[in-house]
Amino acid sequence: MSLFNWLQQRGLCLVAAFMCSGVHASLIVATADLPSCPPQPPFPDRELRLNAQRQATDRGFLWLISRDGRDSYLYGTIHAGRPEWFALGPKLESSLFRSGVLALEIDATDPAVLTELRRVSSGAARPLPADLMHSLRKAWVAECLPPADLDLGAAEYHATRLAVAQAQRAGLFPMYGAEAVLLLYSLRAERPVVGLESVDTQLSALLARNDEEAAAMVREMLAELQRPQAARSLERLAHAWASNDLRDLEKYPEWCDCLNTATERETYDRLVDGRNPGLADAIDKLHAGASVFAAVGALHMVGKQGLPALLQAKGFKVQRVF
């Protein structure tokens, strides 16, 4: 399973926790000057924002969805982005500001959501076999993550944080992901923000169902960190998103090298296509009362079970904008 597959499949819970955990961020920044550590995201100061604005273009995948005399929007996102993407393109910005509500996979501004995420990260540690725990600690230290964090919380949650660290090495940061930028624009405009899924739904995608599955998830992630193909797949997915290359995204199962086993294929089906009907139902209900800008991970947009297809089956007229 590719590194970005972990980030995209497991949705926004990890990204929200990473962005909102001030203690975690401060501990990482303390070691950020070490040459072997992942780079830290630059602060979005005036110079960075002006530079992003000069490069503003429509990235990702946007559809206009219409029914019952009302227009809404469906946007395929990337959960970690580059600082130069910290500005909306003209079509994206216009579509967002024509909508009445921003709908993300989860509402990261909800205090109850953040409380639940903190519980997962600071609760009782899940036991792992000694050799696996040793490997996890070794990888953890290599990414300059706080050693004490491994003494608390779900081990599979920690494994996913390693994927975030690897994305940072490629210059991709959660705080510059599409959802973070959309959220900032919407908060400034006082646009309502809602979640399409509950935090429990997202956590069921992030967390293992038992100790055996947790150990398997950690082993899988640690093995993935050693594969040169992982970085190439990460770059290709980011490039497909940034260049609006929907055709290449549709071929993702062919080139990601992440669906080689029955377990990997079952996980992908459960976490991507398996969540799409619930996401489509939530968008459908919101559209009945307001114009919605629904922003969901790009992998949820492709195939016969993708959100554009499911919404079309619900009677929406679905038109690709870019």
Q: What is the pLDDT of residues 25-79, one digit of tens each?
A: 333 344 445 568 999 999 999 999 999 999 999 999 999 999 999 999 999 999 9
Residues 109-132: what's their mean pLDDT? 87
- Looking at residue 20, its pLDDT comes to 45
- Looking at residue 35, its pLDDT comes to 60
- Looking at residue 266, its pLDDT comes to 82
- Looking at residue 15, its pLDDT comes to 54
Handedness of CA 311, 286, 198, 44 (dihedral sign): positive
Query: Cβ–Cβ contacts within 10 Å for residue 261, how many?
Result: 11
Q: Which residue has the higher pLDDT, 204 or 137?
A: 137
* Apex 14 CA angle, 42 and 133, nearest 5: 105
Structure tokens at 114: 């953040």
> Considering the entire predicted model, what is its pTM?
0.89
Residues 262-291: what's their mean pLDDT? 91
- Looking at residue 192, its pLDDT comes to 97
Q: Is the pLDDT of residue 134 over 80?
A: yes
- Looking at residue 85, its pLDDT comes to 97
Handedness of CA 143, 146, 147, 150 (dihedral sign): negative
Mean of pLDDT over the chain: 88
- Looking at residue 224, its pLDDT comes to 82
Considering only CA atoms, give the Rg of the chain: 19
Residues 142-168: what's their mean pLDDT? 89
- Looking at residue 260, its pLDDT comes to 81
